[in-house]
Chain A
Amino acid sequence: MKQWFNIQVIYALWLREMKRYLRARSRIFGSLGMPFFFLLFLGTGFKNFRPESMPAHIDYLNFLAPGMLAVVLQFGSMFTGMAILWDRQFGFLKEIMVAPVSRVAIVLGRTLGGVTTALLQGFLFIAVALFAGLKLSGFAGFLLTPLFMIFIAGSFVNLGLAIASMMRDMQGFSIVMNFIMVPLLLLSGAMFPIEQFPVWVQWLSYVNPLFYGVDGLRYSLIGMSKFPPFFDAAVLFLFCSGMVGLGAFLFSRSDVD
């Protein structure tokens, strides 16, 4: 396919996504509510939750905050898949598909838009988490945060794209996405150390890409991690690339309406 990297097309799609995002105030603040309340109430309620695998100097709220950031990114990324379904239902997908541009450029534009909005949501969440009591471990680590955020968002935006390409209705899409995302979340160690699980369940966590995302975010924000951050980043990068490929493949094969 020629001209698959068409910068003007990618930019047009990204710009549209940004405008839509900034005009949907309810989405910006509404989707921050759930993780924020979880952080606040779980952080308070489980204040005395101290499993052995948790370092003594870190309280539960600080342990939970990177996990909730992953939730924000994971669910924020779902919007891109939803947007595809909206576009299909409201006919706008045809306007995009009849243009003389490659499907890959369309996927790249949408991915970029989705990742940017998820990143903005993520940073908003970090801001409110700081307000709720999150203490950053250091500036150098914090600089790594966007990297992990991009990989997590990129993976789930494209997972959403892939599933939206195969589906027609919103309800079905949400159900399938939740069916995939909730187990990934619970096995990621976002809410408690995976050492709480029996050993065989821990192995499920180790094959869960989100586990490395949470581990990486935890390193960047509070300076604690199970694996070296470079290892986390490498695993996530591989998963993200795979998802981009899958998203592009399924989207380019999907019907217009």
Chain B
Amino acid sequence: MQAITTTNLTKRFESLTAVDRVSFEVMQGEIFGLLGPNGAGKTTIIKMLSTLMAPTEGDAAVWGFSIGSARDDVRRSIGMVFQDPAVDDSLTGWENLDFHARMYGMKKDLRTARISEVLALVGLEDKAGLLLKKYSGGMKRRLEIARGLMHYPRVLFLDEPTLGLDPQTRHHIWEYIKMLNQKEHVTVILTTHYMEEADSLCSRIGIIDHGKILVIDTPEALKNAMGNDILTIKAENLEHLMSELAAEPWVQEVKRYDDRLLVSARLGEEKIPVAVETARRIGTVIQAISMRKPTLEDVFLHYTGKTIRDEEDAEGEVPRGRMRKRRGPH
């Protein structure tokens, strides 16, 4: 059964097509990840699926409800954790959850019981009475995840759940997400531009760039499709070496990236001397050579021709939500 189905979902802003005829399905119980650089259209997709923004074209169904014609049913079925903090700093953790529960029409007994339950899930029981302005970034994030689960949603949306958190907190959040997926039987759809996050958390990944989904598969299948090993070669005469290597029978694929060649091959460690020999034959000097297993970064490079880092540099100041210059008391 599908938790989410989109058909040709499209969003255009004046001259920019932020989301371009995107069709995909998320199965019930999955942790599905949209992986792409900032500005790829991930957040726009999430906003459309959560009814915060109407699509220009196309349609989508969340838990069987159309985002166009059954908005309140969609809203009741989903929990949201936004990219930027969306909590009230001058309320306590408990009050933030209580506000949420009332907005979703939960009765008092259920409200109180559920607040304790979700606070325990994210390990914030002893911080419930603290004002949110006293919370750390990671605590706020956990509270928002707890809040997203308050009203027993079927689908939980997480937009860049670990953006701006330190590595240790990030790993904790991953553990929470995995655990919630199991315990609460909630389907999770998240966006991220962290390869590691997509790799370790998601059952399936859709790679998205310039508003289009390029490929969808499990992280393992995506990496396996890249061939077995990847040799990174730094040498003097790259062009010549590249054409020479491309002709070798053991080379599955060779790509130039900056001042390096990326060569995919089976049994990579045995191919290192072969590559060195090839270079010697054409009279060029290899400066460095290394071998590794393919990562999602290679998958991304394969489908988009760029690394995710490059994309973000090229996009420059892509608005990642709003920048927070001012904080604090209202």
Query: A-side interface residues toward B, CB under 8 Å?
Result: 2, 6, 8-9, 11-12, 15-16, 19-20, 23-24, 82-83, 86, 89-92, 94-101, 256-257
Closest to B330 in A: A86
Q: In the bound complex, do residue B85 and residue A12 qualify as a contact, i.e. CB atoms below 8 Å apart?
A: no
State in angstroms the CA–CA spacing of A189 and B53 once bound together: 46
Query: B-side interface residues toward A, CB under 8 Å?
Result: 50-53, 71-73, 75-76, 78, 80, 82, 84-91, 95, 99-100, 102-105, 147, 321-322, 326, 329-330
Q: In the bound complex, do residue A92 and residue B104 qualify as a contact, i.e. CB atoms below 8 Å apart?
A: no
Residues in B whose Cβ lies below 8 Å from that of A94: 52, 80, 82, 86
Residues in B whose Cβ lies below 8 Å from that of A24: 90, 329-330
State in angstroms the CA–CA spacing of A91 and B89 once bound together: 11
Q: In the bound complex, do residue B75 and residue A100 qualify as a contact, i.e. CB atoms below 8 Å apart?
A: yes
Q: Can you list 20 A-B contacts (CB < 8 A)? A: A8-B102, A9-B105, A16-B99, A19-B90, A20-B88, A24-B329, A24-B330, A83-B330, A90-B85, A91-B82, A91-B84, A91-B85, A91-B87, A92-B87, A94-B52, A94-B80, A95-B82, A95-B87, A95-B147, A100-B104
Q: In the bound complex, do residue A95 and residue B330 qualify as a contact, i.e. CB atoms below 8 Å apart?
A: no
State in angstroms the CA–CA spacing of A237 and B95 once bound together: 35
State in angstroms the CA–CA spacing of A2 and B72 once bound together: 10
Q: In the bound complex, do residue A90 and residue B89 qualify as a contact, i.e. CB atoms below 8 Å apart?
A: yes
Q: In the bound complex, do residue A98 and residue B88 qualify as a contact, i.e. CB atoms below 8 Å apart?
A: no
Q: In the bound complex, do residue A99 and residue B330 qualify as a contact, i.e. CB atoms below 8 Å apart?
A: no
Counting from the closest, the 7 A-B pairs by CB-CB distance are A12-B102, A91-B86, A100-B75, A99-B103, A100-B72, A95-B86, A91-B84
Residues in A whose Cβ lies below 8 Å from that of B104: 99-100
| Interface residue SS majority, chain A | helix
State in angstroms the CA–CA spacing of A256 and B54 once bound together: 12
Known contacts A86-B330, A257-B322; is A16 also within 8 Å of B82 by CB?
Answer: no
Residues in B whose Cβ lies below 8 Å from that of A20: 88, 90-91, 330
Closest to B101 in A: A12
Q: In the bound complex, do residue B95 and residue A98 qualify as a contact, i.e. CB atoms below 8 Å apart?
A: no
Known contacts A8-B102, A83-B330; is A92 also within 8 Å of B88 by CB?
Answer: yes
Closest to B96 in A: A95
State in angstroms the CA–CA spacing of A6 and B106 once bound together: 12
Residues in B whose Cβ lies below 8 Å from that of A16: 88, 91, 95, 99
Closest to B72 in A: A100
Q: In the bound complex, do residue B322 and residue A98 qualify as a contact, i.e. CB atoms below 8 Å apart?
A: no
Q: In the bound complex, do residue A98 and residue B51 qualify as a contact, i.e. CB atoms below 8 Å apart?
A: yes
Q: In the bound complex, do residue A100 and residue B102 qualify as a contact, i.e. CB atoms below 8 Å apart?
A: no
Residues in A whose Cβ lies below 8 Å from that of B95: 16, 19
Residues in B whose Cβ lies below 8 Å from that of A2: 72
Closest to A101 in B: B103
Smallest CB separation, A27 vs chain B (Å): 8
Residues in B whose Cβ lies below 8 Å from that of A97: 52
State in angstroms the CA–CA spacing of A11 and B98 once bound together: 12
Smallest CB separation, B4 vs chain A (Å): 16
Cβ 8 A contact of B102, one of A11, A82, A95: A11
Cβ 8 A contact of B103, one of A12, A83, A89, A90: A12
Closest to B80 in A: A98
Residues in B whose Cβ lies below 8 Å from that of A82: 330
Extra inter-chain contacts (7) besides given A94-B52, A95-B87, CB under 8 Å: A2-B72, A24-B90, A83-B330, A92-B87, A92-B88, A95-B86, A100-B71
Closest to A105 in B: B103
State in angstroms the CA–CA spacing of A90 and B89 once bound together: 9
Closest to A97 in B: B52
State in angstroms the CA–CA spacing of A90 and B87 once bound together: 8
Q: In the bound complex, do residue A256 and residue B102 qualify as a contact, i.e. CB atoms below 8 Å apart?
A: no
Closest to B89 in A: A90
Closest to A11 in B: B102
Smallest CB separation, A22 vs chain B (Å): 10
Cβ 8 A contact of B52, one of A11, A23, A92, A98: A98
User: Counting chain B CB atoms within 10 Å of each CB, which of A2, A9, A94 scores highest?
Assistant: A94
Smallest CB separation, B144 vs chain A (Å): 9
Smallest CB separation, A115 vs chain B (Å): 18
Closest to B52 in A: A256
Smallest CB separation, B116 vs chain A (Å): 19
Closest to B157 in A: A98
Residues in B whose Cβ lies below 8 Å from that of A96: 103
State in angstroms the CA–CA spacing of A94 and B80 once bound together: 9
State in angstroms the CA–CA spacing of A179 and B73 once bound together: 42
Closest to A12 in B: B102
Smallest CB separation, B109 vs chain A (Å): 14
